[in-house]
């Protein structure tokens, strides 16, 4: 196997990457099958792009591609058997899309193109056969011919597309999709299927994926607000209440809504974990009184958080870590998530979860109330944008920090805590993604003018909201967005944060620091290019980065 798509990749060897088993727990078989699934998704895209140009649009195929790629994202699905099924499903879909394309071409009086690579790849029927084929589909295939820079840039495009696929999937499950996003995804996968080698061109495609990601974040913003209402500032309890309990982790608001409906009147309370925290601020979710609170921290704390939770755990998306025996039998996965031996709910029937909640002890005691405030989504932020502008004019706000993205287990991530702590009273911190757990339970107080200093915008996809606010502020302050007193500190761990990074690149934002490391697939020469062209910098020390940020205002 070879995989270097996330921050926790093994960097001890000569070629950084997980070679025999993932730090995440992914085994060789699953890794190989994931490579083949990605290969087939490219094959679907090769025909979809050409069919689309002739008016033959297969929207179901886009859903299969989004679901397939999302399944290969870090810490989503570790179940080899599920991938065998997905591979054969993707091959069948590709053949259907090919037929649609060929029919449309003939109807238009053209000869259908004879495509190569993933377009004509025939997957073997069983696991052994598939494993024998996997070498041709790996991310480093052909590296000896094209070199590490090219392979790394192809990886950047592909991994960011995986992030896009997650957002596509979350929008799609609540009935939102977009031809523009589908076409953008297909175009980039088709580009990769052609095994591009030109560094400049690849860099342009990194930016192009950023455009698609901006579109999909906007789509997901509409999907979430259209389905669950407009988030507003909300106090969330972070301490338990006595009684039976279910914990929901991941990013799946729709699964949470169904679970809330199916547990109404049972006396069971639902708690959010990790990136599900923003759910409390959406009126259609928050209106259920048994959505009781938030439990634990970010994803990397889940083994201790889940072990300590006295009820079943439902994992609706990444980031899943190998379930410990202490809670494996009361763990459930939904959607694209999977772990061998963990019960999977293929749909929205949560009866087994409810039964598990009744059979587990629940919280014995109610702990003293502890609260945090969340819910500064797009509308809430825009409604205070005038106050922010006035505060900038008056000096009450000298600087704004956007500190967000992924949290992770790597040492040194207390950088984000230190940075947030050290920000001056005349500044605000916007945060999003699970990185917020590094500082969201600290008291940050208010600005001299009384604005809350910590503004929790939501999930990582809510970067869209933060960008909209930045746009509004730059218009109101009559300044270029790069001249705003704004520093963006993006923590990366997995591929959604990479997708967000491509969007920041696409928008030409320059005051961006990313970390805690440069991704392993970004070679030194490519990093130099990214730094020169886009002003990208790594996070260094909280003290130095803060001084740099404030010195710039």
Please, which of residues 37-76 interact with ligand SF4 by CB under 6 A? 74
Shortest Å, Cβ 494 to ligand FSO? 5
Reported as half-sphere exposure (CB side, CA atoms, 13 A), residue 271 has a value of 28
- Smallest separation (angstroms) from ligand SF4 to the CB of 114: 34
What is the DSSP secondary structure assignment for residue 438, as one 8-state letter?
A: G
d(CA 433, CA 416) in angstroms, rounded, equals 13
153 in Cβ contact with 144 (< 8 Å): no
Query: Looking at 337-420, which runs of residues are DSSP E strands?
Result: 343-345, 371-374, 399-405
Residue closer to ligand FSO (CB basis): 29 or 225: 225
Residue 547 CB, shortest distance to ligand FSO, in Å, is: 27
Cα–Cα distance, 504 to 347 (Å, whole number): 35
Residues 420-449 binding ligand FSO (CB under 6 A) are 433-434
Nearer to ligand FSO, 263 or 318 (CB): 318
- Of 308, 310, 298, nearest to 250 by C-alpha is 298
Q: State the Cα–Cα distance between residues 427 and 410, nearest whole angstrom.
A: 28
Assess 416 for contact with ligand FSO (CB under 6 A). no
Q: Which does 255 bind (CB under 5 to 8 A by kind): ligand SF4, ligand FSO, none?
A: none
Rule CB under 6 A: choose which of 299, 363, 416, 439 binds ligand FSO.
299
Residue 522 sits in the site that holds ligand SF4 (CB under 6 A): no
Question: 434 contacts which partner out of ligand FSO, ligand SF4, none, CB within 5 to 8 A by kind?
Answer: ligand FSO
Residue 437 contact, options ligand FSO, ligand SF4, none, Cβ 5-8 Å cut-off depending on partner type: none
Q: What is the DSSP letter of 323?
A: P
Tell the smallest beta-carbon distance from residue 22 to ligand SF4 (Å).
3
318 binds, among ligand SF4, ligand FSO, none (CB under 5 to 8 A by kind): ligand FSO
Choose from ligand SF4, ligand FSO, none: what does 406 bind? Cβ within 5-8 Å by kind: ligand FSO
* Angstrom distance (rounded) from CA 93 to CA 382: 43
Site for ligand FSO in 229-288 (CB under 6 A): 274-275
- Give the interface size with ligand FSO as a residue count (CB under 6 A): 16
Neighbour count for residue 14 (Cβ, 10 Å) = 5
Least gap, CB of 210 to ligand FSO (angstroms) = 15
> Which is nearer to ligand FSO, 182 or 407 (by Cβ)?
407
41 annotated binding-site participant: no
Q: Would the annotation count 251 as a binding residue?
A: yes
Q: How far is the CB of 1 from ligand SF4 (least distance, A)?
A: 7
Per partner kind, with CB cut-offs from 5 to 8 A, the member of ligand FSO, ligand SF4, none near residue 23 is ligand SF4
227, 299, 316 from 75: Cα distances, Å: 27, 10, 11
Minimum CB separation of residue 300 from ligand SF4 in Å reads 12
Closest of 46, 174, 138 to residue 100, by C-alpha: 46
Task: Between 3 and 84, name the residue whose CB sits nearer to ligand SF4.
Answer: 3
Least Cα distance to 397 among 441, 471, 463, 450 occurs for: 450
With beta carbons less than 8 A apart as the criterion, state whether 98 and 119 touch.
yes
Count, residues near ligand SF4 per rule CB under 6 A:
12
Q: Is 436 annotated as a binding residue?
A: no
Q: How far is the CA of 191 from the CAs of 156, 197, 351, 371, 515, in angstroms? A: 13, 11, 44, 48, 28
Show the CA angle centred on residue 27, arms to residues 24 and 31, nearest 5°. 95
Which residue, among 198, 278, 188, has the nearest Cα to 230 in the 3D structure? Answer: 278
433 interacts with, out of ligand SF4, ligand FSO, none, CB within 5 to 8 A per kind:
ligand FSO
Take residue 354 and report the two structure tokens written for it.
């409810």
User: Would you say 87 and 56 are in contact if contact means Cβ atoms under 8 Å apart?
Assistant: no
Would you say 16 or 508 has its CB closer to ligand SF4? 16
Partner whose binding site includes residue 5, from ligand FSO, ligand SF4, none (CB under 5 to 8 Å by kind): ligand SF4
In this structure, is the dihedral angle defined by the CA atoms of residues 506, 509, 510 and 512, taken in order, positive or negative?
negative
406 annotated to a ligand binding site: yes
Q: Which of residues 477-496 bind ligand FSO (CB under 6 A)?
A: 493-494, 496
318 binds ligand FSO (CB under 6 A): yes
Angstrom CA distances, 175 to 142, 227, 254, 474, stand at: 40, 9, 11, 33
Q: What whole-number distance in Å separates Cα of residue 546 and Cα of residue 550?
A: 6
Q: Does 390 bind ligand SF4 (CB under 6 A)?
A: no
Name the minimum Å distance from CB 273 to ligand SF4.
Answer: 21
Closest CA to 425 of 387, 457, 459, 397: 397
Per-residue contact string for residues 2-31; x = within reach of ligand SF4 by CB under 6 A: -xxxx-xx--------x---xxx-x-----
Interaction with ligand SF4 in 73-92: which residues (CB under 6 A)? 74
Q: Is residue 350 involved in binding ligand FSO (CB under 6 A)?
A: no
Q: Which is nearer to ligand FSO, 46 or 213 (CB)?
A: 213
Say if residue 200 carries a ligand binding annotation. Answer: no
Min dist CB 337 to ligand FSO, Å, is 11
Cα→Cα distances 528→36, 518, 522, 533, 534, Å = 32, 11, 10, 8, 10
| Contact flag: residue 205 with ligand FSO (CB under 6 A) | no
Does 319 engage in binding with ligand FSO (CB under 6 A)? Answer: yes
Alpha-carbon span 336 to 169, nearest angstrom = 9
- What does the chain come to in residues? 553
Residues 333 and 344: beta-carbon distance below 8 Å: yes
Q: 198: how many CB neighbours lie within 10 A of its CB? A: 11
Q: By the criterion CB under 6 A, which residues form the site for ligand FSO?
A: 274-275, 299, 318-319, 405-407, 433-434, 459-460, 493-494, 496-497
For the annotated binding site for [4Fe-4S] cluster, the residues are 3, 6, 18, 24
For the annotated binding site for hybrid [4Fe-2O-2S] cluster, the residues are 251, 275, 319, 406, 434, 460, 494, 496
Q: By the criterion CB under 6 A, which residues form the site for ligand SF4?
A: 3-6, 8-9, 18, 22-24, 26, 74
């Amino acid at each position: 196997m070879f995989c270097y798509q996330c921050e926790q990749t093994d960097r001890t060897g000569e070629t950084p990457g997980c070679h025999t088993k993932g730090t995440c727990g992914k085994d060789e078989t699953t890794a190989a099958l994931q490579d083949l699934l990605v290969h087939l998704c490219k094959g679907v895209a090769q025909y979809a792009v050409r069919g689309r140009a002739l008016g033959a649009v297969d929207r179901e195929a886009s859903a299969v591609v989004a679901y397939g790629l999302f399944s290969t994202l870090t810490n989503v699905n570790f179940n080899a058997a599920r991938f065998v099924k997905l591979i054969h499903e993707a091959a069948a879909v590709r053949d259907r899309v090919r037929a649609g394309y060929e029919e449309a071409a003939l109807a238009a009086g053209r000869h259908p193109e004879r495509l190569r690579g993933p377009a004509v790849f025939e997957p073997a029927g069983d696991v052994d056969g598939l494993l024998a084929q996997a070498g041709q589909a790996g991310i480093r295939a052909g590296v000896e011919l094209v070199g590490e820079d090219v392979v790394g840039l192809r990886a950047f495009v592909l991994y960011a597309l995986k992030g896009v696929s997650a957002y596509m999937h979350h929008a799609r499950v609540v009935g939102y999709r977009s031809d523009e996003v589908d076409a953008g995804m297909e175009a980039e996968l088709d580009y990769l299927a052609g095994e591009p080698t030109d560094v400049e061109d690849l860099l342009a495609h990194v930016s192009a994926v950023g455009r698609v990601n901006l579109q999909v974040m906007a789509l997901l913003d509409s999907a979430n607000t259209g389905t669950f209402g407009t988030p507003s500032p909300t106090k969330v309890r972070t301490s338990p209440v006595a009684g039976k309990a279910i914990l929901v982790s991941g990013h799946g608001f729709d699964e949470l809504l169904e679970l809330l409906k199916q547990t109404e009147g049972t006396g069971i309370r639902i708690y959010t974990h990790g990136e599900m925290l923003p759910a409390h601020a959406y009126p259609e979710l928050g209106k259920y009184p048994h959505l009781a609170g938030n439990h634990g921290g970010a994803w990397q704390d889940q083994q201790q958080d889940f072990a300590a939770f006295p009820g079943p755990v439902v994992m609706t998306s990444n980031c899943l870590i190998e379930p410990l025996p202490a809670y494996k039998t009361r763990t459930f996965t939904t959607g694209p998530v999977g772990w061998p031996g963990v019960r999977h709910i293929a749909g929205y029937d949560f009866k087994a979860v409810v039964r598990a909640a009744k059979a587990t002890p629940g919280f014995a005691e109610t702990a003293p109330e502890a609260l945090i405030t969340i819910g500064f989504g797009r509308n809430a932020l825009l409604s205070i944008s005038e106050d922010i502008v006035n505060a900038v004019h008056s000096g009450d706000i000298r600087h704004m920090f956007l500190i967000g993205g992924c949290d992770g287990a790597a040492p040194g991530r207390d950088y984000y805590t230190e940075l947030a702590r050290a920000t001056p009273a005349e500044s605000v911190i916007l945060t999003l993604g699970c990185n917020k757990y590094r500082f969201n339970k600290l008291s940050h107080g208010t600005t001299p003018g009384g604005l809350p200093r910590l503004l929790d915008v939501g999930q990582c996809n809510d970067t869209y909201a933060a960008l909209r606010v930045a746009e509004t502020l730059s218009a109101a302050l009559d300044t270029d967005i790069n001249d705003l007193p704004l520093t963006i500190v993006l923590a990366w761990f997995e591929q959604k944060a990479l997708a967000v990074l491509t969007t920041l690149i696409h928008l030409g934002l320059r005051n961006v620091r990313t970390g805690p490391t440069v991704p392993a697939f970004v070679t030194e020469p490519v990093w130099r290019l990214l730094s020169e062209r886009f002003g990208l910098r790594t996070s260094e020390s909280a003290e130095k980065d803060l001084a740099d940020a404030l010195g710039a205002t």
